Amino acid sequence: MSVELDYITKQTHENPTAVVIWLHGLGADGHDFESIIPALKLPSECAIRFIFPHAPVRTVTVSGGVLMRAWYDIEEVTLERKVDMANVEESMLQVNELIEEQIKQGIPSRRILLAGFSQGGAIAYQLGLFCKYKLAGIMALSTYLVTPKSIPNAAECLNGDTPILIHHGSEDPVVPLELGEKAKTILTEKGFQVNSKVYAMPHAVCPEQINDISTWLQKHLP
C-alpha cells in the first residue's frame, strides 16, 4: 500500500464541480503553484477545487544524493532521462488515490484534470495515459514522457480523446525544448488530441501562458 500524499486544497467556489490535481516540479512542494489561482482570473461560475500535493522526500542521484521532494529519482540527466521507474509507479499510485478520493466525494472522473510542471508533468502524462479513469484533461508544462516507447495508440487508451495541453519554454535549460517537442510528436502521431505552444521563457511559467491555461481550463472544465 502506498503512503498517502499530503496536499493543499484551494477552491474557487464553496461547491466545486470539478477538480484540478496540480503536481509540482523537482525540489519544490505543493505551495509552488498556489499563487497561480488568482492569476488565472477564473470567472465566479468556474467552480474548481485545486489540489496541490507534496511529493515524497527522497534522495535524487543527479543532485548528489541530496534529500528533496521528488516524484522520482533521476539517475542520469540525458535526453533519454534515465529515471527510477519504481518511484514513477509509486507516485502514479499515490496520485491515483487522490483521484479516487475526489470521486468518492462526488466529483466524476470526467471532471478531474491532471496538471504538472517538469517532474510533476511527467507523472501527469504517465498516469493520464495509463489511467483506468476517464479524465477531463492532461496539462503537461515544461516536461517530457518518461516511457516514450511504450505510449499506446489513442484508440487503445481510455483517455485517447482526452485533451492534452503541452507548454514549453524555448529557452529551457533544465528540460530542453527538444523533449517537449518529442512528446508532442509522439502523442500526435499516435492520435491524441494535442494542443501545444512554445513561449519565450526558461524553465518557468509566464503571464501569457497563464492566460492561455485559464482559457483552456474554462473550455474543458466549463
Kindly list the catalytic residues.
Answer: 118, 172, 203
DSSP 61: G
Query: What is the sign, positive or negative, of the torsion defined by CA atoms of 180, 102, 37, 218?
Result: positive
As a whole number of angstroms, the distance between CA 84 and CA 60 comes to 10
As a whole number of angstroms, the distance between CA 52 and CA 29 comes to 8
* 1 CB-contact burial (10 Å; exposed 0-12 / middle 13-18 / buried 19+): exposed
CA distances from 197 to 45, 170, 209 (A): 27, 10, 9
As a whole number of angstroms, the distance between CA 1 and CA 159 comes to 25
3-state class of 109 per DSSP? helix
Torsion of CA 126, 111, 8, 11, to 10 degrees: 150
